[in-house]
């Protein structure tokens, strides 16, 4: 079966398409015939730095959608022929989602959202789980305030409505061209860039209770947070001291890839339109490098998908 492979760390041109054997599913596992696999920033990181504890080639991809091809012993919730989406950790010996066949724990697999095709559905699992985990770590409840950085991005577009349905007041930054888009997710729009902190403080003078930092502002977002508030960071933290009692809560999505209940919630929310699935472009496997270049260039709205 074909797969996107990273033979060595480097730029987009190192990506290649290889043929490889895929094992049968074991107990509690599912083998999925992948129709589409999304390209995310984590794939850029794997390509650029490799996986030091695993032998190459490395197979990128954290989420995919397609059809169940076979199931292992003990799997009763899913059956061959089911249209599904799945989340997977690429830093494992058999690699990630960008492969024509994918073996994954059944707990990481649910049906497609109503009305969604495989390409659209492939944009949801990993980013949706990341949004839910970030909100869970912040522990916000009805009446609390949240700022989301990178408001027009895919991760933010999931975090905003998921927070709103908990009764949280959400502010998110946007450029003038994206204001209507971000408002459509359910956020109060504030300025992005150098004016972000001042804009948040103008709306919430004491500072927000929490920040979901999808734009990787880091310390530059601290000024928007109240004393004793918290920030959920999606690319780790250097453990350096913070200020004013602000807590940093790293979001490690690998810890929730088997949260079937969360995946089902995401499926339902996308199916009823509360989460908007956005495909930026579709690429055949042979053009995976173009998908990486588009991601690195920035400004895309949604995700590119590798379509087998």
* pLDDT band for position 236 (cuts 50, 70, 90): confident
Residue 224 pLDDT > 90, yes or no? yes
Instruction: Give pLDDT tens digits for 75-101.
Output: 999 999 999 999 999 999 999 999 999
Structure tokens at 64: 């995919």
Q: What does the pLDDT read at residue 240?
A: 85
Instruction: Give pLDDT tens digits for 141-175.
Output: 999 999 999 999 999 999 999 999 999 999 999 99
Which of 57-71, 88-102, 207-221, 233-247 is the least confident region? 233-247
Domain positions in the chain: 2-124+277-307, 127-253
Instruction: Give pLDDT tens digits for 117-139.
Output: 999 999 999 999 999 999 999 99
Architecture of the domain whose range is 127-253? 3-Layer(aba) Sandwich (3.40)
Mean pLDDT of 196-203: 98
Q: What does the pLDDT read at residue 235?
A: 87
Mean pLDDT of 218-230: 97
Residue 232 pLDDT > 90, yes or no? yes
Mean pLDDT of 55-63: 97
What are 38's strand-pairing partners?
Answer: 305
Average pLDDT, the chain: 97
Mean pLDDT of 287-301: 94
The CA-CA-CA angle for residues 227, 233, 238, to 5°, reads 90
Structure tokens at 268: 């339902």
CATH 3.90.180.10 at 2-124+277-307, yes or no: yes
DSSP string over 122-152: TTSHHHHHHHHHHHHHHT--TT-EEEEESTT
d(CA 137, CA 231): 9
Q: What does the pLDDT read at residue 20?
A: 95
Q: What does the pLDDT read at residue 107?
A: 98
The model's pTM is 0.96
Residue 226 pLDDT > 90, yes or no? yes
Q: What does the pLDDT read at residue 103?
A: 98
d(CA 3, CA 16): 8
Q: What does the pLDDT read at residue 264?
A: 98
Residue 299 pLDDT > 90, yes or no? no
Best CA proximity match to 35, nearest among 296, 294, 279: 279
């Amino acid at each position: 079966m074909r797969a996107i492979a990273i033979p060595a760390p480097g730029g987009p041109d190192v990506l290649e398409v290889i043929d490889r054997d895929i094992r049968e599913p074991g107990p509690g596992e599912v083998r999925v015939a992948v129709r589409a696999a999304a390209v995310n920033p984590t794939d850029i990181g794997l390509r650029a730095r490799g996986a030091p504890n695993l032998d190459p080639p490395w197979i990128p991809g954290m989420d995919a959608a397609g059809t169940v091809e076979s199931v292992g012993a003990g799997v009763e919730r899913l059956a061959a022929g089911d249209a599904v989406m799945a989340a997977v950790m690429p830093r494992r010996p058999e690699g990630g989602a960008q492969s024509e066949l994918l073996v994954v724990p059944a707990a990481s697999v649910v049906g497609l959202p109503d009305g969604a095709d495989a390409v659209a559905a492939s944009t949801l699992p990993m980013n949706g789980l990341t949004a839910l985990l970030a909100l869970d770590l912040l522990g916000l409840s009805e009446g609390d305030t949240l700022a989301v950085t990178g408001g027009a991005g895919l991760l933010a577009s999931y975090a905003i409505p998921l927070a709103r349905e908990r009764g949280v007041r959400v502010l998110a930054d946007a450029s003038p061209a994206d204001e209507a888009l971000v408002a459509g997710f359910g956020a109060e729009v504030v300025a992005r860039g150098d004016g972000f902190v001042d804009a948040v403080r103008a709306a919430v003078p004491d500072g927000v209770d929490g920040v979901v930092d999808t734009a990787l502002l880091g310390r530059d977002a601290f000024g928007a947070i109240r004393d004793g508030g918290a920030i959920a960071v999606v690319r780790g933290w250097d453990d350096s001291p913070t200020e004013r009692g602000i807590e940093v809560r790293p979001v490690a999505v690998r810890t929730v890839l088997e949260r079937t209940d969360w995946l089902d919630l995401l499926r339902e929310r996308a199916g009823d339109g509360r989460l908007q699935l956005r495909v930026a472009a579709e690429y055949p496997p042979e053009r995976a490098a173009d998908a990486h270049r588009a991601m690195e260039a920035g400004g895309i709205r949604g995700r590119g998908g590798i379509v087998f």
